[in-house]
Amino acid sequence: MTLKPLADRVVIQLMEAEEKTKTGIILTASAQERPQIAEVIAVGPGGLVDGKEVQMTVKVGDKVITSKYAGTEVKCDGKEYNIVRQSDILAIVE
């Protein structure tokens, strides 16, 4: 199955959460922060959204930072993805 986002939606896959602190302390799953860096998997076509023309500025393969609790979580073929609006993407990581 393939996810094809509509309008200004972007399908992202969150990167793994850090399991250790910088000082070497191993964190339990409940203590790990939800990651905010993700990889773009698919991008919608943009177009007219809420009466405004939206140009898509992210592309497949970009690493991005998203709002902490943005989007809708979905599972597809055993993998977890988030679907967010392009406006929920805060930055592209270069």
> What pLDDT is stored for residue 31 in this prediction?
47
- The answer, as to whether pTM is greater than 0.75, is yes
> What pLDDT is stored for residue 32 in this prediction?
47
3-state secondary structure 37-94: EEEEEEECCCEEECCEEECCCCCCCCEEEECCCCCEEEEECCEEEEEEEHHHEEEEEC
Task: Give me the mean pLDDT over the 58-63 stretch.
Answer: 97
Domains and CATH numbers, the chain: 9-16+31-93 (2.30.33.40)
Which amino acid is it at 39?
A: E
Model pLDDT for residues 20-59, shown as the tens digit of each residue: 666 776 655 554 456 689 999 999 999 998 899 999 999 9
> What pLDDT is stored for residue 20 in this prediction?
60
